[in-house]
Structures are given as structure tokens and as C-alpha cells.
Amino acid sequence: MHSSIASYQWLLHIFTVISSLQVSAARFNIPRLSPTRGTILQNPEILSATISKDFQTFYYNQTLDHFNYRPESYSTFQQRYVINFKYWGGGAGADANAPIFVYLGAEEPLDGDISVIGFLTDNAARFNALLVYIEHRYYGKSIPFGSRKEALKNASTLGYFNSAQAITDYAEILLYIKEKYNARHSPVIVIGGSYGGNQEQTCSEMVMPIGIDNTTMFPPDPFDLSNYIDDCKKLYGVSPRPHWVTTYYGGYDIKLILQRFASNIIFSNGLRDPYSSGGVLEDISESVVAIHTVNGSHCLDILGANQDSDPDWLVMQRKAEVEIIEGWISKYYADLKESNNRSCTQNKRKD
Ligand SMILES: *[C@@H]1O[C@H](CO)[C@@H](O)[C@H](O)[C@H]1NC(C)=O
Ligand SMILES: *[C@@H]1O[C@H](CO)[C@@H](O)[C@H](O)[C@H]1NC(C)=O
Ligand SMILES: *[C@@H]1O[C@H](CO)[C@@H](O)[C@H](O)[C@H]1NC(C)=O
Ligand SMILES: *[C@@H]1O[C@H](CO)[C@@H](O)[C@H](O)[C@H]1NC(C)=O
Ligand SMILES: *[C@@H]1O[C@H](CO)[C@@H](O)[C@H](O)[C@H]1NC(C)=O
């Protein structure tokens, strides 16, 4: 598995566990790995019915385009999110700044993730956490332009389907939830694994130069960018921007960039996951840390725990992750207290 925990300046007081591996491309014969490893049925309706009553579904009027001021940018679509209030504040609801655990939906409808991503429910009681699951735009029920057909029609509608828009969607919904449920000072832990961009996105920003060389049992099929671009234009009418993702997020010297600009991330990997070869496998700073297991697979640690069958190394991996998160949250509360104390003192002086 590949998951992580990051802190973004623009999400005040929010810690993040973000998915980092950009995985995709069924069309181009690259094995697509989702957090749920294809164990999820294709029919979201059936799955919705199996999710317990503790999970309540909501829709947020999401802005179509966060990065433009053209009139059409202000159009909205309904973005689905699901909340489980059961454990929050130990059942007492919003109080004591209890944490919010958030699962960021990846390249599939949210329905399957809710029952499969056990890391949230397994740890909710320990942290008295509010659980939030947010669907990625263009998947499941979070489709702009009224219908899937319309949304995927051509480059004019597909242009809003990208990771920067998606991350901003998540930020908007989280800030809205914090406001709505009086949880402004709750720390937010974001959990995710893998990352897709099936269909569109491998033809826009997530260009992965994956090919087959002559050292495997398969016929060699080296990556060819110009063929790739031609295929994308034919299929979706979209021209990939292969270098945009590293321009926007950084990545040429990922170690240095993360060391200087990131905090509170756990990069977790199972080395049996082929994508772990592109993963962060070494600690980068005090709070940007790597945890890997030799026999782990893709996203294994964020799936539900099973006390009868989980091997010790998996139990230890999850335990280490939870303890790190606990440490961050304690530190956050200490900072919060100090900052409240500071503003109290200042107010008193003013009086
Ligand atoms: C969301 O948008 C719909 C349709 O435009 C509207 O009816 C509804 O009131 C909006 N909800 C909120 C909370 O703004
Ligand atoms: C996409 O389709 C719409 C409506 O059919 C059309 O107005 C628009 O020009 C098309 N965009 C592209 C990039 O082809
Ligand atoms: C395999 O590819 C390498 C690098 O392209 C080349 O040097 C080598 O001769 C190739 N070997 C065979 C058996 O084709
Ligand atoms: C990984 O699995 C192999 C095969 O089951 C086993 O021999 C090995 O000890 C395991 N390694 C670790 C670190 O658990
Ligand atoms: C709050 O500030 C006062 C005065 O600076 C200090 O004595 C006290 O220990 C602080 N309390 C906490 C909880 O930080």
C-alpha cells in the first residue's frame, strides 16, 4: 500500500494522509491498482444497501472550476460525501476538538471504499473521531454536467477533471464540515491509498512512462510518448501534459522538496506492491516518515484489520502508524492550547 499523511498550509490545522502513488491506465495495459483492489462490485446501488446506518450520505454544491473567474467556472455540481458520527467525541458529538478522519476517494465510486477502508472505523473509537469519506469528482455520484455521458463528452467538459481541482474540492468540503459541525479546531487526518485517474486523467496529467523492456517474459514494449499522445487524442480528444504534474507538485528532487516543504506525512508501502518501487521508502524528516513491510501489498494497511488472520508484521505496521498519528494530534493540541492561551492573554491586556 502507499498512503501518506501531509499538512497543507492552506488547510489550517489540518493533518493529511494522502494517497501518493498515481496509478492508472487500463487502456494502456498498465495494471491498475485501486485501494480496494477490484474487490468491489461495479454496481454502487447494491453496495450502498450494505453500508450500515451509521453512515449518512450528503451532497455538497461543489464549484466546477476553482481556478478561474469565467462565468462557467461558477457552475456547481453535487459532490457526494458520507459521514459517520458514531464515535465522534466519544458519542457526545462535536466537543473537545476531537479529530476528523477523512478518506479521500480515489478513481472509483465511493460506495465500495466505505466498507473496505477499515483503517477509519478500526481507529475511530480510540480517537473519538468523526469519519468523513469524500468521493472524487467525475466518479460515482459526483458527476458534473448532469450526466456521465455529458461529463465525459469531450475536452470542454473533461477539462475540469484533474487532481488539483479534486484536492481543492476536498479542502472546500472539509472547511464546510468544520464550520457546520462546530469543529473548527479539530485536527484532520486524511487517509488514502494509490491514486487513479483511470480514463481521463492518464491522458492529461498522470502520464506514467511505463513500458516493458527486454528483460521480462513479455514481448518488449518500450514506452513511446508520441504514440501515447496520439492514442489520447484519438480516445478522448485530450493532449497530455506529461510534465505538468511535476511542475505543479514538484518531484524532480522529491526528497529535498518534501524535507523543506512537507510535514506530517506517513508514506506507507508494501514491497510486494509493484508500485512501491516508485514510493518513498526512507524517512525524510522528523514528521515525514516512511514505513514499509517486505510482504505487504498495495494499500493493505488501510484495509480493515482482521484479528484472526493478520500477520504480526501487519499488526505492527498499523500500530506504528496509529502511534505516529497520536503523537501528532497530542502535539497539535498542545500548540492549540498555547495559542488559545496567548490570545486570551492578549485580550486581557486589551481589557
Ligand atoms: C445546492 O444546489 C441546489 C441546486 O442548485 C439548490 O437547490 C440547493 O439549495 C443548494 N444547496 C445548498 C446547501 O446551497
Ligand atoms: C464539446 O461539445 C460541445 C457541445 O456539443 C461543443 O460546443 C464544444 O465545442 C465541444 N468541445 C470540444 C473541445 O470539442
Ligand atoms: C535489451 O535492451 C538493451 C538496452 O536497450 C540492449 O542493449 C540489449 O542488447 C537488448 N538485449 C536483447 C537480447 O535484445
Ligand atoms: C515474507 O514472506 C516469506 C514467504 O512467506 C517469508 O519467508 C519471510 O520470512 C517473510 N518476511 C518477513 C519480513 O515477514
Ligand atoms: C498560559 O500563559 C500563562 C502566562 O504566560 C502561563 O503562566 C501558563 O502556564 C500558560 N498555560 C498554558 C496551559 O500554557
CA–centroid distance for 296 within its chain: 20
pLDDT in tens, 179-207: 999 999 999 998 877 764 343 755 556 65
Q: Is the CB of 337 under 6 A from ligand 5?
A: yes
Instruction: Name the residue with the closest Cα to ligand 4, atom 2.
Output: 295
Q: Is the CB of 29 under 6 A from ligand 5?
A: no
The dihedral region occupied by 20, where left means phi > 0, alpha psi between -120 and 50, and beta the remainder, is alpha
Domain range holding 195? Answer: 2-350
How far is ligand 4, taken at its centre, from the CA of residue 313, in Å?
A: 10
Host H or E run for residue 27: none
- Nearest atom within ligand 4 for CA of residue 295: 1
Residue to mutate, 156, 238, 239, ligand 2, most ligand atoms under 8 Å from C-beta = 156
pLDDT given for residue 99 in this prediction:
94
Structural domains counted in the chain: 1
Coil/strand/helix, residue 60: strand
Q: Give whole-number Cα distances, 274 to 106, 277, 295, in Å.
A: 18, 6, 12
The CATH number covering residue 273 comes to 3.40.50.1820
Host H or E run for residue 3: none
Q: Is the CB of 294 under 6 A from ligand 4?
A: yes
Confirm if 186 and 178 have CB atoms less than 8 A apart: yes
Global pTM value: 0.78
pLDDT given for residue 160 in this prediction:
92
DSSP string, 238-290: ----TTHHHHHH--TTHHHHHHHH--SEEEEEETTSGGGGGS--S--SSSEEE
pLDDT given for residue 215 in this prediction:
73
Give the ligand at the shortest distance from the Cα of 216: 3
Q: Is the CB of 313 under 6 A from ligand 4?
A: yes
pLDDT under 50 in the chain at which residues? 1-32, 37-47, 49, 196-199
DSSP string, 82-147: EEE-TTGGGGT-S-TT--EEEEEP-SS-HHHHHHH-HHHHHHHHHHT-EEEEEPPTTSTT--GGGS
pLDDT given for residue 201 in this prediction:
54
Residue to mutate, 145, 154, 203, 235, ligand 2, most ligand atoms under 8 Å from C-beta = 154
pLDDT given for residue 10 in this prediction:
31
Q: Is the CB of 338 under 6 A from ligand 5?
A: yes
Instruction: Name the residue with the closest Cα to ligand 4, atom 8.
Output: 295
pLDDT given for residue 257 in this prediction:
84
pLDDT in tens, 5-49: 333 333 333 333 333 332 222 233 434 455 554 443 344 444 454
pLDDT given for residue 84 in this prediction:
94
